[in-house]
Amino acid sequence: MLVKDFDYPLPDELIAQKPVTPRDSSKLLVLNRKDGTVNHRKFTDLPEFFDKGDLLVLNDTKVYPARLFGEKVDGGAKVELLLLKTTGNDIWEALARPGKRLKTGTVISFGTDIMRADVLADTDDGGKIVKLYAGKNDNGDLVIDLIHRLGELPLPPYITDGPKKDERDVYQTVYAKIEGSSAAPTAGLHFTNEIFDALEKKGIETSYVTLHIGLGTFRPMQTERCEDHIMHYESYSVSAKTVEMIERVKKRGNKVVSIGTTTARTLESIALINNGKVVACSGDTNLYIRPGFKFGVVDALVTNFHQPKSTLLLLVSAFAEKDFIFKAYHEAIKERYRFLSFGDSMLIL
């Protein structure tokens, strides 16, 4: 498969810069794989499409303020770091700008020397391994405290007029719990407490997994063939409670509904290495789902509209037929749906 075959013309004005208010007032495009229909609804209609006993599984990861702005101690050049993943002891994998000028041994200062970073090494994908240190701060803050104090919302680069530093909550789901992501699980941004109440009243269950979103999810494909793209590892965790709920749902013939592509990758990753079963565990996954993949756990998927030529677009094209997805995207563009992280939503049944 060629990456160019997953391209489509996305008008700039359809790239949502801010979320709608309230969250659940977004549009919902409903795709039915059995009869090939496409229907235009509102996200508040979501509970109508599920039966009593169905299970919605959501990713409860929480975004941290992973974007840091500093300067090189030697020379004062401006530096930006996007923290992706920690390996412990305040050592982080990060993306850096300008990356080529940050050689091993470079020291970066943040917040007038409130925090420092030493560049330890380069990564294979052009990133950096850095160690963060608490610098001059009267509060005795630890590094993680300083990241929260100095860091900014790590919005995607296509959002140029998004929420400000004091509006971080709009880039968190209302159920965000376990901090560790440098990007939000955006399919979940549409959910409100009112939606959860409506689901509960209908007897529709909810449960959670955790996948901390990093480079694996949002790194663009830069190869000619889809098969040549390499996914990066992201950490996940699934509890015994969630496993028990999935087993009960499957046993009685109800649907497991994945809220977002990250949830789908988590569930399918575990099933692949456990003979088709989801088990309680933690680990790392670089599962790359593309057309031809056979889903073994997920029966329905709620997701946003994804960038052209992205691994996320390949994933939804695997869940539904590629031609069906592109037909739906064409319809969404025609009807002026809002695209990408703060955009409208799609339900694939």
Domain residues for the domain of 86 are 67-150
For 260-277, the pLDDT digits (tens) are 999 999 999 999 999 999
Is residue 313 a part of any domain in this protein? yes
Is residue 221 a part of any domain in this protein? yes
For 295-315, the pLDDT digits (tens) are 999 999 999 999 999 999 999
Same-domain status, 33 and 177 = yes
Same-domain status, 89 and 144 = yes
CATH of the domain at 143: 2.40.10.240
Is residue 201 a part of any domain in this protein? yes
Same-domain status, 56 and 198 = yes
Using the 3D structure, point to which of 92, 119, 150 is the last residue of a domain.
150
Is residue 78 a part of any domain in this protein? yes
pLDDT given for residue 158 in this prediction:
86
Same-domain status, 232 and 191 = yes
Cβ-count burial 1-15 (b if 16+ within 10 Å, e if not): eebeebeeebeeebb
Same-domain status, 94 and 112 = yes
pLDDT given for residue 190 in this prediction:
98
For 129-185, the pLDDT digits (tens) are 999 999 877 676 789 999 998 998 888 888 887 666 666 688 899 999 999 998 899
Work out the pLDDT band at 87, boundaries 50, 70, 90.
confident
- How many percent of the chain have pLDDT more than 90? 79
Q: Looking at the 3D structure of the chain, how many domains does it have? A: 2
pLDDT given for residue 99 in this prediction:
78
Same-domain status, 178 and 75 = no
Same-domain status, 88 and 33 = no
For 221-233, the pLDDT digits (tens) are 889 999 999 998 9
pLDDT given for residue 266 in this prediction:
98
Same-domain status, 81 and 101 = yes
Is residue 163 a part of any domain in this protein? no
Same-domain status, 298 and 180 = yes
Same-domain status, 181 and 235 = yes
> How many CB atoms are located within 10 Å of the residue 285 CB?
21
Same-domain status, 256 and 337 = yes
pLDDT given for residue 244 in this prediction:
98
CATH of the domain at 230: 3.40.1780.10
Is residue 156 a part of any domain in this protein? no
